Amino acid sequence: MDTFSRISAQQAHEIMGSQEVTIVDIRDPDSFAQGHILKAQAVNEENIKVFVEDTNKEIPLICYCYHGNSSQRAAAYFVDQGFKQVYSIDGGWEGWIAIYG
């Protein structure tokens, strides 16, 4: 996979329920603290280098932001860093929370 895939919140939920995944929240720390997808890790400029070095790149990576735009850039970055299977949630946190509250 040389690129990432855009997926819906429902598709992300199915993937999370069927296999081991890494979930990355790229929103600001305050937003993450107010609520995030279960088992998501907050990744930002301060910790992204360590995250990339320490994370298993063979496990699917799902990333999200507020609405699904910034996470596409992040997903492309993670592909460039060697992650094999990368997804960006269309609609981001807002799309997720609208369905899974």
pLDDT number for residue 1: 52
Q: Which of 24, 40, 62, 65 is catalytic?
A: 65
Domains present along the chain, CATH in parentheses: 5-100 (3.40.250.10)
Q: Read off the pLDDT of each residue in 14-31 and give the average, rounded to a whole number.
A: 97
Decide if 63 is catalytic: no
54: burial class by Cβ within 10 Å (0-12, 13-18, 19+)? Answer: exposed
pLDDT number for residue 23: 98
pLDDT number for residue 2: 73
Q: Please tell me the distance from the alpha carbon of residue 89 to that of residue 8, in angstroms, as a whole number.
A: 6
- Does 8 score more than 90 pLDDT? yes
Global confidence as pTM: 0.95
pLDDT in tens, 45-62: 999 999 999 999 999 999
Mean pLDDT (the chain, rounded): 96
pLDDT number for residue 20: 97
